[in-house]
Amino acid sequence: MNTIDFYWDIGSTNTYFALHLIRPIAQQHGADLAMHPFNLGFVFRHHHYALQEEPAAKLRNRRRDLMRWADKHGLPFRMPDRFPIKTSRPLRGALAARQLGVETPYLNAIFARYWERNDDSITEALGMRAVAEEIGLEADQFVTLCDSPALRQALIDETQTALDRGVFGAPSFLIGEELFWGKDRMAFIDDELTRLRLRSKRGRSPGSRR
C-alpha cells in the first residue's frame, strides 16, 4: 500500500480544501493517508516569509479565489474574522487525538469550526475542551495531554522532520520522495499513484505466486 504523507496546518486556507480533496483520491487508490501537523508559522519564519507582506491586490484576489474553490466543490468555506491565528495548540491537539484513536474526527471538528463556523476558540484551552466533548473525549484529560511537554516536543519534531524532507508550505504531500505542494496538485497526485500502481502490477508475474 502506498502512503501519502500530508503535512498540514489549521491556519492554512488551502489545507482546508486539500483535506476534502485528497481523501477520495487516497480511497480510490487504496493509499494510506498519514497526517502530519507541523507549525507553518515556524516554517515561514525559517524561510523569512511573511504572508501579510504580500501585495494587497494579491491578498484580495486570494480571498476571491478561495470562494471560487468553495463554490466549485460545494464546501461551506468562509474566511474567519480572525486570521491568521496561532495554531500550536490545535496542532498539538491532533497529536493528542492520534494517541487517543480519534485523529480523523478531531480533524473534521477543528477544520469545520474554524473554516466553516468562524470559531477561532480552538486556539485556547476552552475551545479545545469543546472539541474534546464534541468527539466524545474527556475534556480535562485531552487538554492536559495537548499542553504536555511530550506533545510540545512532538510538534517541534514533526515540524523539523517536515523541514528536513523539504516541506516549505501547507498543504504538502509526499509520496516517497515526490513532493506535491498545494490544493491544486490533486491531478498530479492521482497520476503518481496510478504510476506506482501500474509499476507494481508490472513487477508481478504469474510465476512469482506460491
Q: Burial level of 18, CB count in 10 A (0-12/13-18/19+)?
A: buried
Averaged pLDDT, 146-153:
97
In the chain, the percentage of residues whose pLDDT exceeds 70 is 92
The pLDDT tens digits of the residues spanning 31-46 come to 999 999 999 887 877 6
Residue 10 has pLDDT above 90, yes or no: yes
In this prediction, residue 59 carries a pLDDT of 77
pLDDT band at 1 (very low <50, low <70, confident <90, very high): confident
More confident position, 31 or 200: 31
Averaged pLDDT, 180-208:
86
In this prediction, residue 56 carries a pLDDT of 81
Residue 48 has pLDDT above 70, yes or no: no
pTM over 0.85: yes
What is the pLDDT of the chain when averaged over all its residues?
92
In this prediction, residue 203 carries a pLDDT of 74
pLDDT band at 53 (very low <50, low <70, confident <90, very high): low
Residue 152 has pLDDT above 80, yes or no: yes
Q: What are the cell numbers at 46?
A: 525559517
Q: Is the dihedral of CA 114, 126, 93, 170 positive or negative?
A: positive
What own/partner pairs with CB < 8 Å and gap ≥ 24 does 99-105 have? 99/145, 100/137, 100/142, 100/145, 102/135, 102/136, 102/137, 103/35, 105/135, 105/136
**In angstroms, rounded to a whole number, what is the distance separating the alpha carbons of residues 179 and 190?**
13
Domain spans, the chain: 3-208
Residue 209 has pLDDT above 90, yes or no: no
CATH 3.40.30.10 fits 3-208, yes or no: yes
